[in-house]
Amino acid sequence: DVKVTQSSRYLVKRTGEKVFLECVQDMDHENMFWYRQDPGLGLRLIYFSYDVKMKEKGDIPEGYSVSREKKERFSLILESASTNQTSMYLCASTISNQPQHFGDGTRLSIL
Amino acid sequence: EDQVTQSPEALRLQEGESSSLNCSYTVSGLRGLFWYRQDPGKGPEFLFTLYSAGEEKEKERLKATLTKKESFLHITAPKPEDSATYLCAVQAAGGNNRLAFGKGNQVVVIP
């Protein structure tokens, strides 16, 4: 079974802080994704990566950056956290033409 | 732009009362349509992939079908443990592995 592990289930940070969300997958998948999920808005793609050191913007990249130094790890960075970034963040991974497998999410609160 | 619309947004069913969820989509060439189940506070869990019109997939009380414009998830004789949010997503042909998600169908099954 594919396992996608997100480092924290719950996180509380202050506005202006730099925030790191970590995601690790154990199936040697090339593709990794970061989404945020908000009530009434569904899942929205922030960034994705199809290879080490490669990244592409999704639909809502503003205020975020990503890092993929190793194949199994994909990090989401909030450069200067703001209250409108309070959300559920979900990481997923896949190989080509296969379903995406998701982690259990990080519920992030920015105060 | 790929679009996915799910209806109804929310559904309350009596245990044993069969029903169907709808996922309408527009995509520039369908590579695959995916159904996921999401429980509160958890990440989406993969259920089915459908690739071409006329295809059907079944798992326990769930059956997914696909036409050229929409997919249905039929829930037969539901039980309380089928209560969840069901997410539909499409992947376009010829592109990368990103998905476009609908906002979900929230299903509650009452004993």
Q: Per-residue confidence at A97, pLDDT binned at 50, 70, 90?
A: confident
pLDDT digits (tens, 9 = 90+) for B34-58: 999 999 999 999 999 999 999 999 9
| Collapsed DSSP state (helix, strand, coil) of residue A39 | coil
Between chain A and chain B, the number of residue pairs with CB atoms below 8 A apart is 52
Closest to B48 measured CA to CA, from B23, B28, B78, B13: B23
The pLDDT of residue B75 is 98
Kindly list the residues of chain B whose beta carbon comes within 8 Å of any beta carbon in chain A.
31-32, 34, 36, 41-46, 49, 87, 89, 96-99, 101-104
Give the C-alpha separation, B105 to B111, whole Å: 19
The pLDDT of residue B95 is 65
Q: Do A97 and B97 touch (CB under 8 A)?
A: yes
Q: Which residues of chain B have pLDDT under 70?
A: 95
pLDDT digits (tens, 9 = 90+) for A22-71: 999 999 999 999 999 999 899 999 999 999 989 999 999 999 999 999 99
Give the C-alpha separation, B89 to B71, whole Å: 10
Is residue A2 over pLDDT 80?
Answer: no
Which residues in chain B have their CB less than 8 angstroms from residue A31's CB? 96-97
Mean pLDDT of chain B: 95
B4 residue type, one letter: V
Closest to A87 measured CA to CA, from A54, A32, A43, A57: A43
| Collapsed DSSP state (helix, strand, coil) of residue A72 | coil
Q: Do A100 and B49 touch (CB under 8 A)?
A: no
